Amino acid sequence: MQPSAPAIVQGTRRVSYADLARSTDALAADLAGLGVEKGDRVAYLGPNDIATFETLFATTQLGAIFVALNTRLAGPEIAYLLGDCTPKVLVLAPELRGTAEAAMDPCGVRPHIVHVSAAGHGNDEAALGCRPTEPPPEPGVSLADPALILYTSGTTGKPKGAVLTHGNITWNTVNQFAHFTISSDDVVLCSAPLFHVLGLGQITLPALYAGGTVVIMPKFDPGGFLATIQTERITAFPLAPTMMQMLCEHPAWETADLSSVKCVVYGGSAISERVARNWLSRGINVLQGYGMTEASPGIFLALQYAALDHPVSAGVPHFFTDIKLLTAEGSVVDSPGQGELLVQGPNVFSGYWNQPEATQRAFINGWFRTGDIVRIDPDGWAHIIGRVKDLIISGGENIYPAEVEAAISELEEVSACAVVAVPDERWGEAGAAYIVVADGYDLDEARVRAHLHRNLARYKTPKYFTFVDELPRNPAGKVLRQQLRDRALQARPA
């Protein structure tokens, strides 16, 4: 990388690699002056910003652990995370000061507060990270040392802090380079939240590793995203499927100049074939992947030469990632086949922060249990069938919601859908489908039922259908199924 080359762009601000190195050194020295040492935690609560990267690099330069906090959480939820990771310093965006103050009293944690502003970092007494300074002494950081704590979404309980090492992050980058090329000539766009592994681990950090340029958007906005692609000549970006759908449904989609875009990597949930082909029709390499926080995040990723032939597959295993399948009978087998996905490799995390029992439950014979049922075809391409916990058992038959959702999404009238289990007096459980109808279309239950009866076994057809304006989602775009289950129970008590 060239010192004068642009590293990070945010609005009118352009930070070169040399500038980023200087501001990182200065902030690291100031954090050390606040007592931050190897193994301490430095939390960050703020939107996507140049300061996010400065804080990440300064923290890990000291051998400390960067903790990215979800800006969309309420005070009590932030309190739980602060109490769990006990940071020595909290780097805070001014607009979230009220949330942070409301969180600190209940959790009993009182870190040093560093505020983020356009001029840099600062606290109530003095500016931080803004003055020339010598970098602090190197603490001797190894690939096995922890670098990040990223909290899982907590869709089924309290969030757990996945501890990712320097090695996990490095090997995730190497894995991505085996599937697509990012060089110093690339300009990548990051609008996915940087408190989520999609925002950090997919394309963004690999681009900086390669000496490319990262353009930051504080939050995702379809119109602004399309405009930024054109003005900055963006070449690649990571997206959640719901973001991809919003972009291709935006009025500016058809006229937007996307000629600079070489590659889009997406994952986090299933995507309809209609949306995938809409992107592919623009001549863009659309690579679906599958991963999770605990794998930094990559596990599967499509290959460029064959993505068009597998538009809804999650891809093939990353080069330095090994997989096996856990069958319903409890046997661990090699692919092809179907079962719960097990993962092993240098990108797989070291465990959950302060939760040894949860860490132990997450592994079987050294293999991480993903909790996802996958089908691996003989050619090695993977298909995500559904979560183990989302399985619907109706009259003794197993129904995977993802399979039913994929069939419903084949209808052009469907914008999004989700299927969850509800108790049923006769069958034990039955499916309840929630469907968002695409703008400009009409759809009724009879048409959906008829389509499913033509394409799936009848027992897989949901018993109930509800048409909604939108599905509840977390910041990563994943459907909050527990909210839908609760809603279904309230509508149809067992």
Nearest CA to 342 among 406, 390, 388? 388
CB 246 within 8 A of CB 477: no
pTM of the model: 0.86
pLDDT at 131: 54
State how far the Cα of 88 lies from the Cα of 217, in Å rounded to an integer. Answer: 28
pLDDT at 80: 92
Q: Which domains does the chain possess?
A: 6-141 (3.40.50.980), 169-387 (3.40.50.12780), 391-491 (3.30.300.30)
User: Residues 85, 91, 95, 101: what is their CA dihedral angle, to the nearest 10 degrees?
Assistant: 50
Who's near 217: CB < 8 A, 6+ residues apart?
48, 189, 190, 191, 224, 225, 228
Q: Which residues of the chain have pLDDT under 70?
A: 117-133, 153-157, 268-270, 493-494
List the Cα angle 402/406/408 in 5-degree steps.
115
pLDDT at 385: 86
Nearest CA to 58 among 16, 15, 21, 19? 21
How does DSSP assign 329-387, residue by residue? TS-EEPSSEEEEEEEESTTS--EETT-HHHHHHTEETTEEEEEEEEEE-TTS-EEEEEE
Q: Tokens 């190897």 correspond to what residue?
A: 38
pLDDT at 126: 41
Upstream peptide bond of 3 is cis (omega within 30 degrees of 0):
no
State how far the Cα of 203 lies from the Cα of 221, in Å rounded to an integer. Answer: 19
State how far the Cα of 462 lies from the Cα of 452, in Å rounded to an integer. Answer: 9
Can you name the residues that pair with 163 across neighbouring β-strands?
149, 351
State how far the Cα of 137 lies from the Cα of 145, in Å rounded to an integer. Answer: 17
